[in-house]
Structure 1
């Protein structure tokens, strides 16, 4: 079943993206974080620093990307699937 036309900040889209930490991370928030980082990089590159060394400016905090899980090659029987779903 494919769910369409959900807002990109919804819980369903967040869970499909990787987890609850993606909740609220729509296109606008990603663009704002990228703009924040670009402005910091520009400030760092063009600044006139007293000691000649630019300070470390932290990046905007983003949700951590989870490594993708590899598919298991093991076959599962219908009885094992039923046992898992029924909680037995």
Structure 2
């Protein structure tokens, strides 16, 4: 649960490396089927991709510039 929450939320629960690889393999097989199929009248069917959790955009913090003197003062405990 901790890894899922760190990844973006509860929808990531159970999504390890193996599950991501299985979803990628599923999509690759579907792409291969679309590319090599002999479709009637040249109309390629719409094959949906494997449903994945939606990635939430992360907000980047603006970093305040810190001088070397301020870093030294923080590290030395003065």
What TM-score comes out, normalization by structure 1 length? Answer: 0.68
RMSD over aligned Cα, in angstroms? 1.2
1:61 aligns with 2:51: yes
Answer 1 or 2: which has greater helix percent. Answer: 2
Displacement, 1:63? Answer: 0.2
1:37 aligns with 2:27: yes
1:12-27 aligned at under 5 Å gives the runs 12-27=2-17
1:71-86 aligned at under 5 Å gives the runs 71=61
Partner of residue 5, structure 1: none
Higher alpha-carbon Rg:
2
1:4-15 aligned at under 5 Å gives the runs 11-15=1-5
Displacement, 1:72? Answer: 6.3
Unaligned ranges ≥5, structure 1: 1-10, 74-88
Partner of residue 83, structure 1: none
- The higher-RCO structure (CA 8 Å, 6+ apart) is 2
Unaligned ranges ≥5, structure 2: 64-78
